[in-house]
Structure formats: structure tokens, C-alpha cells
């Protein structure tokens, strides 16, 4: 699955065009390397996102074949680290971290 689509499906970023802008802006790393939106996501990779004053580090646990229901999105990634904010992260809610 493409990285921009994975970010949308996992609800880390709610809209794919925004995900593409963030990724192509050099703000996303997979396993420590800056990647493009078309990069393929694989289980076990470490995903880092830095955007404005927010930083998230995730481990990819599952890569779905298509869209996923809201209550299953938290099964896709495991939050490892955050910096620059003090909020509770819940991917099953309708909030967008990058509004």
C-alpha cells in the first residue's frame, strides 16, 4: 500500500491530499529515510512524522488491503513516541492530528 493511502486509511491524516503534501514535503520517514508518497508501506517499519510542532513515531503492525472501519484503525499502528504536545492519541476517534 502507498504511504499516503496508508496515512489516510490508518486515520493518522484524514485526507489523502493532505497526506501527500506532508509526505512530499519531506516531513515523513520510513525506517529513518525520507520517502515520497508512493513509497510502499510494510509491516514492521518505523514511521516518523514531523509536522509543525508535532512529532509522532509509529510502528506499522498491519497493512490492510483496503479501507478499514474506525474501530479497527488502532490495530494498524503502535504509537512509540510523541514530542511537542501533551495530548492523548486515539486513532479510533474522528480527530485529525494535522488540521
Q: Are strands 46-51 and 77-83 parallel, antiparallel or unpaired?
A: unpaired
pTM of the model: 0.82
- Pair 44, 26: CB distance under 8 Å: no
**DSSP label of 61:** -
pLDDT of residue 2: 95
Q: How far apart are CA 57 and CA 75, in angstroms?
A: 15
CB atoms near residue 96 (< 10 Å): 12
Could you tell me the mean pLDDT of each successive run of 10 residues in the chain, 99 residues long?
94 92 94 96 96 89 90 90 69 56
Amino acid at each position: 500500500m502507498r504511504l499516503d493511502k496508508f496515512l489516510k486509511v490508518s486515520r493518522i491524516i484524514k485526507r489523502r491530499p493532505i497526506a501527500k503534501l506532508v509526505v512530499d514535503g519531506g516531513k515523513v520517514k520510513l525506517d529513518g529515510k525520507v520517502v515520497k508518497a508512493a513509497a510502499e508501506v510494510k509491516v514492521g517499519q518505523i514511521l516518523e512524522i514531523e509536522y509543525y510542532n508535532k512529532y509522532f513515531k509509529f510502528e506499522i503492525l498491519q497493512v490492510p488491503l483496503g479501507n478499514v472501519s474506525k474501530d479497527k484503525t488502532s490495530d494498524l499502528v503502535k504509537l512509540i513516541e510523541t514530542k511537542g504536545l501533551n495530548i492523548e492519541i486515539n486513532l479510533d476517534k474522528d480527530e485529525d492530528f494535522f488540521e
